[in-house]
A and B are shown apart, each in its own frame.
Chain A
Amino acid sequence: MANRVVITGYGIVSSIGLNADEVLHSLMIGHSGIGEITRFETIHKGKLPIAEVRKSNEELLEIGRLQELKNYTRTALLGIVAAREAAEMACINEGRHIRKGLISATTVGGMDRSENFYPLFLENPSKGKLSEIIHHDCSDSTEKVAETLGALDFITTISTACSSSANSIMLASEMIKAGMLDLVIVGGTDAVTRFTLNGFNTLMILDRDGCRPFDENRAGLTIGEGAAFLVLESEELALKRGKIIHGLLSGYGNANDAYHQTASSPEGTGATLAMAKALEMNAIAPGSISYINVHGTGTKNNDLSEGVALQKIFGGNVPPFSSTKSFTGHTLAAAGAIEAVISLLSIKQNCIFPNLRWATQMKELYISPVATLVKDAGVEHVLSNSFGFGGNNSSLVFSKYNPR
C-alpha cells in the first residue's frame, strides 16, 4: 500500500447523541434513539416511530455557533454540527499548502424547507416565500457546511440513496490517492421530512414498532435523521501534521445489484460484489474481519438479501455483526458516514455494539446478529455496508491504525 488513507477526525449528530462522546455512551448503554414524532405535524404522529435528533433548529443553530436561522435548512444545520466536530478534531486548518476538499451526501437536501413553500405556491404561483425554496437543491447543505470550514479547493455532493455517504468516502480516498487533494472532509447529512416519511410509507416498509434488523418478525425500517463527517488525509500528511490517527480506510467497493429499483436481489448479488471488492482491495482475508456493521435496515427484503450475501462471503465463519440502525434509525444519505464513525468507535473502544430489539432467528439464514454489547472484542478490521435503492451497494473496511 503506497499511499495509505487515514482518518484524523470524525463528528456525528444523531438521535442518540449530538457528538461522538454522546453517541458512544448511548451505544455502550444500549440506548436507542427511536421514538415518537415530535418535530413536525403529520398524520403519522403517534403511529409511526422515527429517530429524531432531539433538538430544534434554533438549538442546532446555537450548537453550530451560527446566526440567521432563515439561511439554513435542518439538513444543513445537522451537517454543520457534525462537520465542525470532525474538522476541529483533525485541526484541518493546521498545516500549509494543503489542498482541501469537501464531499457531502444527501438524499433530499433542503426538502424540509421546500415542504413549507409548496402548499402556498400550488394554491397561487405568486405565493410562498422564496426564502423557503432557494435551499432546495442538494448542493445547498454542502455549501453551508463549506462556509464553516474555511477555504476549499474542491466541493461536490453525491446522492445514491442510502449508500450516498459511503460513496463520498470512496471518492475522497480516490482523490487523495491520485494526488488531487491532500485532505478531505467527507460525509453526509439528511433531516427527516414529511416527503421522505410519506415516500417510504407508500412502499409499506416502515415498522410500526421500530425497526428490528435481522429478526424473523421484522416489519420494516425506521426513518432517522442525522449527519456525520470524517476527515480523511494521506498517512504522510497526518504524520507530518502530527495528528492522532483514529483508523485506516483499508478497503472499499461499489457494485450495482442491477435487479430492481427498490428491491434487493434474493441472491444478494450487489452486496456480495461490493463486500468482495472492499476486501480484495488490500487483500484483507474475510477471516480477519472482526466486526461487520451491516446495512440491516430491518426490511424483509434487505436483511434477507444482505444475510445471504454475508453467508456467501464468509461461509461458516461469519464475523460478529450488528445493525446500529436499531439505535439511530435509517439516516439515509448520512447512514454510510454515521456507521463509518460507529465503526471507528468500535475500533477505538474495542467493542462490538449490539443489534437492539433482536429476538427471533431468521428462518432462511443460519446467522444472527450480536444482541448484547461485547467488550474486549479484539477489533482490528471493521466492514461497514451501505446499500441503497437502485441497487447502489457500497462496502467500506476500516482498520486499526498500526504505524509502519
Chain B
Amino acid sequence: MAYINGVGIISPQNTLPGSGFLEPAVEHTADFLRSVEPVYKSYIDPIVSRRLSRLIKMGITSAKICLQDAGIEAPDAIITGTGLGSVEDTEKILGELTKEEKFLNPTPFIQSTYNTISSQIAINLKCHQYNSTYVHRCFSLESCLIDALLQIQDGSATNVLAGGFDEMTHNHLTIIRRLGLWKREVIRNLDLWTCETPGALAGEGSAYFIISGERTEKTYALLAAVETLYRPESTGETAAFVVHFLSENGLIPEDVDIVLMGNNGHAEHDSICNEVIMQSLPGAARVLYKHLCGEYHTVSGFAMYIAANIIKRQLIPPSLLIHGLASKKLGNILIHNHFRDTDHSFILIRK
C-alpha cells in the first residue's frame, strides 16, 4: 500500500498540465489515437531533443511533469514498464539491416534499448538510485508498480517514480491489423462502443506516478494493491481471484464503487472483461475508457490517471461511458485489464 502523490501523463486526450479532467473529450478520426504532445522545448533542451525519437520524448517529458506535479526533485527509485519500447527506433534498425548491414548511426540502436527512458531520466536528474524496466506486455506497468510497492515496503525508497509508455507506428499498426485483432477501417474514436465492425482501436500514451510511502497535500489516492493472474483456467477462476484479491485488502465485492473495464472494442476480448466483472462484482458501476486512449500494452497507466482523479475530484467525467450506477461517495476503484485471457491484471485504487 502506498500513496499516489503525483501524475504526469501524455495521452490522446488533453491531459497535459492545466487541462481539465477529460473534458471535453478529444475526437480522433484516424488509423490510431495519437498522443496530444506538448511543446517539448519547454521540457527538453532542443539540441538534445532533436536526436530523440518520439516515445523517448514522451517518456522523459511525462516523467518531468509527474515530478513537478508531486513537487519532487529527486525520487528514491525510477522504475518503468513498456510493452515494446521505442518501436520507431527498432523499425529503423530492421530497415537498415535490409540494406546490406552498412549503417553507421548508433542512435536508433541505443534508443531501441528498453531501459533507455528510465536511464535518461536518471541521467537528467543525476539520480543514482534503484532503476529498473519491465517488458512483459500488459504486465509491464503492473510489474513496475509491484516493484515500486516492494521498494517502499522494505524501506529502500519513500518516493518512487513509476511509469509506463508505449507508442504506435504505422508499420506496427499494419502488422497488428493483419493479425486481425484491430479495426481495419478508420472510425471516430467516440463511436467505438456503437461501432459494428470487429476489432480494437489502437492507441498509445505515457503515464507516470509518484508512488510514495508518505501522504502529502498532493496525494490523489491510495495505490492499495496490484496483482497479476497468469493463465487462469476459466473465467470462474478469474472471478474468484478478484473476490480473493479484494478480501486480502479487507474489502467485499459490494465495496467496489467503480470498475475501470478492460474493454477495447474487440468482441471476444470484451466478453471476457464483462464476464469476469459481472461474475465477481455484479453491483459495481462499470466504466469504459479505452475509446479515449485506444489499446496498448501499458494502457493501465491511463486508467490509473482516471482513477486517481476520480477519487481526488469525486466526479466521473461524462466523456467516460458508464454502465450501472456509481455510489455518491467514490472510494474504491478497481482497474482490470487482460491480454488474450492469458495475462489478467488488477489494480486497486482507494481514497
Contact = CB atoms under 8 A, between A and B. Distances in A.
B310 interface: no
A178 B149 CA distance: 11
Contacts, number: 182
B22 interface: no
Contacts of A261: 110, 116, 119-120, 123
A216 interface: no
A142 interface: yes
B136 interface: yes
Contacts of A42: 101
Contacts of A126: 178
B contacts with A: majority SS: mixed
A175 interface: yes
A92 B123 CA distance: 41
B13 to A, nearest CB: 26
B238 interface: no
Among B101, B114, B147, B230, the one with the most A-chain Cβ atoms within 10 Å of its Cβ is B114
A202 B96 CA distance: 12
B171 to A, nearest CB: 8
A199 B106 CA distance: 6
Contact of A256 (B122, B137, B179, B228): B122
Nearest to B96: A198
A138 interface: yes
A255 B126 CA distance: 11
Contact of B123 (A125, A152, A198, A258): A258
A158 B132 contact: yes
Among A115, A152, A392, the one with the most B-chain Cβ atoms within 10 Å of its Cβ is A392
Contact of A153 (B126, B153, B230): B230
Contacts of A200: 109
Contacts of B83: 137
B47 interface: no
Given A255-B128, A260-B123, A390-B115, A202 B105 contact: yes
A257 interface: yes
Interface residues of B, number: 59
Contacts of B116: 261, 390
B15 interface: no
A152 B136 CA distance: 15
Interface string B58-97: 0000000000000000000010000111000001011111
Interface string A136-147: 111100110010
29 contacts: A43-B100, A107-B114, A109-B135, A118-B98, A130-B179, A134-B179, A137-B137, A139-B139, A142-B136, A146-B230, A151-B231, A155-B139, A157-B134, A157-B136, A158-B134, A160-B131, A161-B113, A174-B147, A178-B153, A195-B94, A198-B97, A202-B103, A202-B109, A256-B122, A256-B129, A389-B110, A390-B119, A390-B122, A392-B132
Interface of A: 42-44, 106-107, 109, 114-115, 118-119, 121-122, 125-126, 130, 133-134, 136-139, 142-143, 146, 151-161, 167, 171, 174-175, 177-178, 194-195, 198-200, 202-203, 254-262, 269-270, 273, 388-392
Given A194-B97, A389-B110, 13 more contacts: A107-B113, A114-B94, A122-B95, A137-B137, A159-B113, A161-B113, A174-B154, A198-B101, A199-B106, A258-B126, A389-B115, A391-B119, A392-B132
